[in-house]
Structure 1
Amino acid sequence: MSTHPFHQVNVFSADPLLGNPLAVVLDAIGLGEARMAAFARWTNLSETTFVLPPTDPRADYRVHIFTTMEELPFAGHPTLGSCHAWLAHGGVPQGEEIVQQCGIGLVRIRRTGAGLAFLAPPLLRGDALEPALRERVRIGLGLDAAAVLDARWVDNGTGWLAMRLRDRAAVLALQPDYAALEGLKVGVFGPWLQGDGDAAQFESRAFIAGDGAPEDPATGSLNAGIARWLLDEGQAPDRYVISQGTVLGRAGRLQVERVGDALWIGGACVTCIEGVVTL
């Protein structure tokens, strides 16, 4: 058994109860991957991370990211939450930006007025969904064929696909059949309209069929993929906010900003719990 500093961080909301929680084990030297996976199952959060010294000299730290089911090569809210905890624990970056080492390689992170933002990785796959898969997802979401404006892969290392709907109301009304979507990671999004207010410009939801927490409250990787789709087609401004978690009683707000060829995904991070964990 060993003891390690522990933070539980709220990501993508300045209110500690309205974002997406993340468990972060710092100074995780000596923990094997099986032990990490067991602790991630025990926390029962969407993700748990373990921060270690980097093996790449260009990185400031290295992180393992676990869901309750598997290890991920990359994920957005764990990236920002781990960076927030590492800085709060006394981490000092080598340069102006922070560089995280994870399964997909090096990820750049910067401080912003809203908190932290990561440089969105390129899409590994961004093509249209195959007709049979599109139909399976449409039926699993309980949608009429005309309700789906487009459907594509938005996979930047985490396996997301996404469907674009006509508006926020259609996104919020979804009641997915998780059995029909087994094994898929499905994102859905649509624009806020005039009567929805001005707190955000888009609404998204993220369904992970087969996971212990089937709907995610605020998902950086999914919304990074959606942002590339929207911006590449000229369907969104260079800066916008996407809301997530509404149906779950959360108020996630993800800040999207394109600067030249760089796409940044950011938001607020708040430490909710700080202590020591024995593993």
Structure 2
Amino acid sequence: MSQFDFKQVDVFSRRPLKGNPLAVVFGADELSDERMAAFASWTNLSETTFVLEPRDPRADYRVRIFTTLQELPFAGHPTLGTCHAWLEAGGIPKGEEIIQECGVGLVRIRRQGDDLAFLAPPLLRSGPVDADLVERVRLGLGLEEGTITDAQWVDNGAGWLVLMLADRAQVLALEPDYAQLRGLAVGVIAPCCPERDDIDAQFEVRAFISGDGAPEDPATGSLNAGVAQWLLSKGLAPSSYVVSQGLTMGRAGRIHVEQIGDEIWIGGSTVTCIEGTLSL
């Protein structure tokens, strides 16, 4: 067995235990795919990342991202959480931005005060969702007919499809039948009402990944990156807005979205909760 430096961080929150946890393993170049997958399954977190030496000379580090079930080419909260952990561990970027190498290629990350933000990667799949699949998801979420105002693919590597509802209360009331949603990554979003909702956010989001060890994700960067590209391209959101996520799970995730020219940046806070070594 070998020892590895390790951190567990909480992403999209300034307060420990209120965001989305992530396990980060450093110096993982010698670990096999099977060992990485086994450890990610063992942590039972939505994602675990492994930091390796970059292959692309432009990158500061390379990361592999695992759920309890599979490896992902990209994910948002692992991107910010890994970058936070890498910087905290003494990582020094080659330039003003941090460049992460992962399955989708190079991802730009920048500092925003004490927070970090990543550049939303291009969508691998976009556009309307087939009506039969929308109906399957509607039934799986227990929604009444006519409550879905729109449905779109916003897949940037994690497979997301998104339903839009009219009312934040509908999002918070969802009780999914995960058997009907199996094999899908489903996001649900609704606007917040300033007159009714006492909240510092413009949208409420929930994210469901049936079959995963964590079937609901408390704060999701990849989903919100895809949603932002949809909303902003259709003029459905301001150029800068905040998303609330995780409330029904006892969390208080806050995802910050900002459009600068043609670029969309997804940011938030990260706090370290655990650090030490592990043996694998």
Secondary structure in 2 aligned to 1:154?
strand
Q: Distance in 2 between matches of 1:138 and 1:99?
A: 39
Would the aligned equivalents of 1:72 and 1:103 in 2 still touch at CA under 8 Å?
yes
Gaps of 5+ in 2: none
Deviation at 1:28, TM superposition (A): 1.1
Q: Which residue in the other structure is 2:255 paired with?
A: 254
Q: Which amino acid aligns with 2:261?
A: G
2-structure distance, mates of 1:144, 1:17: 33
Q: Which residue of structure 1 lines up, in the alignment, with residue 131 of structure 2?
A: 131
* Cα distance, 1:145 vs structure 2: 2.1
Q: Output the CA distance in 2 between the equivalents of 1:225 and 1:276.
A: 35
Q: Give the distance between the partners of 2:199 and 2:135, measured in 1 at CA.
A: 33
Q: How does 1:1-279 map to 2 (within 5 A)?
A: 1-113=1-113, 115-193=115-193, 194-279=195-280
How far apart, in 2, do the equivalents of 1:96 and 1:113 lie? 13
- Contact conserved, 1:190 with 1:204, CA < 8 A, in 2? yes
Opposite residue 232 of structure 1, the aligned amino acid is S
**For 2:113 and 2:171, how far apart are their aligned partners in 1?**
29
Could you state the TM-score of these two structures normalised by the residue count of structure 1?
0.99
- Distance in 1 (CA, whole Å) between partners of 2:265 and 2:199 is 21
Superposition deviation, residue 122 in structure 1: 1.0
Separation in 1, partners of 2:214, 2:7:
20
Cα offsets for 1:210-255 (capped at 9, x unmatched)? 1111100000000111111110111111000000000000000000
Letter in 1 for 2:176: P
Q: Which moved more, 1:72-81 or 1:134-143?
A: 134-143
Which amino acid in the other structure matches residue 235 of structure 2? G
Q: Quick one: which amino acid aligns to residue 102 of structure 1?
A: C
Taking the aligned partners of 1:197 and 1:238, their CA distance within structure 2 comes to: 22
User: In 1, distance between residues paired with 2:252 and 2:209?
Assistant: 19
Q: Name the CA distance, whole Å, in 2 between partners of 1:29 and 1:7.
A: 17
Which 4+ residue blocks in structure 1 deviate beyond 2 angstroms?
Answer: none
Q: Give a deviation string over 1:35-78, Cα, whole Å, max 9, x none.
A: 00000011111100000010000000000000000000000000
SS of equivalent residue, structure 2 residue 29: coil
- CA separation in 1, counterparts of 2:274 and 2:175? 33
RMSD of equivalent CA atoms:
0.7
**SS across alignment from 2:5:** strand
Number of equivalenced pairs: 279
In 2: Cα distance, 1:32 partner to 1:174 partner: 39
Tell me by how many angstroms 1:197 deviates.
2.2
* Aligned sequence identity (%): 67
Q: Which whole-Å CA distance do the structure 1 matches of 2:30 and 2:114 have between them?
A: 34
Give the Cα–Cα distance (whole angstroms) in 2 for the partners of residues 136 and 28 of structure 1. Answer: 40
- Find the residue that maps to 1:195 and give its secondary structure: coil
Give 1:113 shift: 2.6
Gap runs ≥5 in structure 1:
none
Contact 1:171 1:190 in 2 (8 A): yes
Tell me the distance in 2 between the aligned counterparts of 1:165 and 1:80: 28
**Structure 1 counterpart of 2:95, one-letter code:** G
